[in-house]
Structure 1
């Protein structure tokens, strides 16, 4: 990832995704670039065109909070993406970085996972790697080349589009979640490694990463086509682990009385009973 002008890259990417007519501007004649022109963003944000150009080019690196709020309004950013914009413009103070510790899951959290035998649950790390799971959580994602890494599963697994019937939506949200992690700690070595590998191996990832969409994993309904039990429609909630910043507890549920509830119960019955195998990384 290029780190020298992340703010400018973000502004340019978001500008190119906004249609003038969506903001009440005349589309005008032929445009050399998609989306808004620089002068249009400057007008919407109430700053000079020269100042905005300097922001995009990285020649101005200290916009005020008021300017950032105005840019977020002009680019029609949602609350989460606007917060990401502020983080890019005001990164955490530098200093001597401590060696990053291996991500570990607390014993209390592992016991909590085991207490939900009928509910798939996983613990995800900063880069959406599976740090731990209960038996049904393991069974939900089992059988893939990258079962222990949800980003690589989406973009590098040969059967990803079959496993995720709504693959494009899953891909957009997955990259958005990775972008959210990048905004918090862009120097994370594992994040840099993940983005570098996927950028080389997946054209779809490169396309979506260039959009600078930000979508923190929260809650959603997702369809799966499981190799053992067929279609599953599951809703999930992603909960942050306060004792381990960057970790998320993701819990999946089927609608009561639905075919997916029966399929999930069948998957549970097919899961071999053995000692818990929590740690994947």
Structure 2
């Protein structure tokens, strides 16, 4: 994935979505052949020359300063996630990046302990490209109970939530508003790809999804950007029926993220979620999980 190309495509799509009347640009009743602002109009709003903005959109001027990028972000009416994404793309375009094998992602002991403490709260630990690095019993039962619970412990067989959302019929059917969940996933992957341009793994996943899912390819071309901190989804679980959960992402700058699912207290959704361990026959007790020392030994033996 070329950072310069992505930067130009992102600027172009955002410029094409702005109507002149949205930003106070007079049109004097003229008919326009293409939607959105013209390059010269956007450049004027941002306080840069048309030629400079054109070169930036064409990927020929990767050295834009943070101040110029902020000015362009303001002219494009970008939100905070989109503004950060614009800066990440510009940084990626300023340096040559070569795909490399990333270091194996590990689950810190503190994160393992958090899974244990959460007990009956569904939780999963996700890596950069949404690989499931670990999950507790409720998290497994809620999000992917049809898969082997031990799969995250085998690096070569770890499921990736992005792949499951787009390519797994069971997970797709879990979400009443699947397109909304899918768009959120695509927006998250855009953020990750821009933040880690040197990491080949997320880009390989993007290529796979683009080849196997026309819906993913269409959503990716839309250049939606979203940092998935939280979202509320109506789920249709095959065992406990419909429930509404809030999925919250606890992020760490130096490690994987933890996604937890909660429901409104004393709600039908809370009742359904409480039934999940019973109907699956899975215990959420911490004692069912290997000790930290045991997990260290296993991880060392597997070379993960």
How many residues in Structure 1 have an aligned counterpart in Structure 2? Answer: 278
Structure 1 residues 29, 140: CA separation in 2 closer, same or farther (over 3 Å shift)? Answer: farther
Matches of 1:169 and 1:15, distance apart in 2? 23
Bigger-Rg structure (1/2): 2
Structure 1 residues 127, 143: CA separation in 2 closer, same or farther (over 3 Å shift)? Answer: same
Q: Helix, strand or coil: the match of 2:246?
A: strand
| 1:70 CA drift (Å) | 1.0
Residue pair 2:143, 2:171 contacting (<8 A) in 1 also: no
User: 1:6-45 deviations in whole A, cap 9, x for unaligned?
Assistant: 3212211222232333223356544333322222211221
| 1:54 CA drift (Å) | 0.8
Structure 1 residues 162, 24: CA separation in 2 closer, same or farther (over 3 Å shift)? Answer: farther
Residue aligning to 1:15:
15
Structure 1 residues 147, 257: CA separation in 2 closer, same or farther (over 3 Å shift)? Answer: farther
| 1:242 CA drift (Å) | 4.2
Matches of 1:160 and 1:271, distance apart in 2? 17
Is 2:132 the partner of 1:124? Answer: no
Matches of 1:167 and 1:237, distance apart in 2? 18
Among residues 233, 251, 255, which one is paired with 2:264 in the alignment?
255
Residue aligning to 1:272:
281
Structure 1 residues 233, 90: CA separation in 2 closer, same or farther (over 3 Å shift)? Answer: same
**TM-score calculated relative to the size of structure 1:** 0.89
| 1:174 CA drift (Å) | 0.7
Residue aligning to 1:139:
141
Runs (5+) with no aligned partner, structure 2: 148-156
Is 2:217 the partner of 1:206? Answer: yes
Residue pair 2:3, 2:90 contacting (<8 A) in 1 also: no
Is 2:188 the partner of 1:187? Answer: no
Structure 1 residues 158, 234: CA separation in 2 closer, same or farther (over 3 Å shift)? Answer: same
Superposed CA RMSD in Å reads: 2.7
| 1:221 CA drift (Å) | 1.3
Residue aligning to 1:56:
57
Structure 1 residues 121, 194: CA separation in 2 closer, same or farther (over 3 Å shift)? Answer: same
Matches of 1:73 and 1:95, distance apart in 2? 28
Matches of 2:129 and 2:189, distance apart in 1? 6
| 1:103 CA drift (Å) | 1.1
| 1:270 CA drift (Å) | 2.3
Matches of 2:141 and 2:98, distance apart in 1? 41
User: 1:75-113 deviations in whole A, cap 9, x for unaligned?
Assistant: 100012111111211238668998521111123321220
Matches of 1:195 and 1:113, distance apart in 2? 29
Is 2:123 the partner of 1:110? Answer: no
Residue aligning to 1:219:
230
Is 2:164 the partner of 1:153? Answer: yes
Residue pair 1:10, 1:212 contacting (<8 A) in 2 also: yes
User: 1:140-187 deviations in whole A, cap 9, x for unaligned?
Assistant: 112457993221122212345431111121111111110110111123
Q: Helix, strand or coil: the match of 2:17?
A: coil
